[in-house]
Amino acid sequence: MPKPFKRVIEELSKLPGIGEKTASRLAFFILKSDLSYAKNLAHSIVFMRERLQLCSTCFNLSESPHCYICSNPQRDKSILCIVETPQDLAAIEKSRDFRGCYHILHGRLSPLEGITPKNLKIKELLERIGSENIQEVILAMNTNMEGETTALYLTKLIKPKGIKVTHLAQGIPMGADLEYIDEVTISKALKNRIEV
């Protein structure tokens, strides 16, 4: 096997979930693609790594030490929305309905995968709650077992500090056909029904 090929396999195999076999399939694909693809891929990787960092306050991806949300004086610093990933933050921002700030955990508790509180940005969240003037914490974890465990864990830590803790409403999503909605969602939607 020529050395340049071996080296690509070696480097790709360091990525999570990429074994030697997958790495060699990817390397072949790159070999058969245009040179411009190899160059674009390589450039995008180095450019991202050099440009991006995590915001030192909320741990969002950022091109500067403070992300565009934390450094925006018009955002309400007293309401924190806690999300698992920067992708979740992006989804909430798209709604244009939240004017508070965020805190990104970078994952959710998952004992099976060995993800414990110290693997997440929970200590940093508690420090923020201790030092900033925070009135409300909105838990916006994903609505699966691990997300809900994480939310429960955070509630137990934050509520005793006398801070209002809320979570996103659970119910029927827009455009959904009731026929295809699972029973847990229906139960939640019934339980939390709203008077008109």
Distance (Å, whole) CA 139 – CA 191: 19
User: Shortest Cβ distance from residue 165 to a second copy (Å)?
Assistant: 27
Q: Which tokens belong to 193? A: 């029904």
Q: Which stretch binds a second copy (CB under 8 A): 11-19, 114-122, 124-132, 176-184?
A: 11-19
- The residue count for binding a second copy (CB under 8 A) is 46
Mapping DSSP onto H, E and C, the string for 93-158 reads HHCCCCCEEEEECCCCCEHHHCECHHHCCHHHHHHHHHHCCCCEEEECCCCCHHHHHHHHHHHHHH
Shortest separation between residue 102's beta carbon and a second copy, angstroms: 13
In the region spanning residues 76 to 115, those forming contacts with a second copy, defined by CB under 8 A, are: 86-87, 90
Nearer to a second copy, 27 or 101 (CB): 27
Stretch in the footprint of a second copy (CB under 8 A) among 60-68, 136-144, 164-172, 175-183: 60-68
> Binding pattern to a second copy, positions 146-175, x when CB under 8 A?
------------------------------
* Smallest distance from a second copy to CB 88, Å: 11
CA-to-CA dists, residue 24 to 1, 5, 11, 13, 132, angstroms: 11, 8, 11, 9, 49
Token pair recorded at residue 165? 């803790």
Q: What mask, x for binding a second copy by CB under 8 A, covers residues 14 to 53?
A: xxxxx---x-xxxx-xxx-x-x-xxxxxxxxxxxxxxxx-
Do β-strands 61-62 and 53-54 pair in parallel, antiparallel, or remain unpaired?
antiparallel
Q: Dihedral of CA 193/80/88/144: which sign?
A: negative
Q: Angle of helix 20-32 relative to helix 3-12, nearest 10 degrees?
A: 120
Tell me whether residue 93 or residue 148 sits nearer to a second copy (CB atom). Answer: 93
The DSSP H or E segment spanning 82 is: strand 76-83
Binder of a second copy out of 19, 56, 63, 132 (CB under 8 A): 63
Binding site for a second copy (CB under 8 A): 1-2, 4-5, 7-8, 10-12, 14-18, 22, 24-27, 29-31, 33, 35, 37-52, 61-63, 86-87, 90
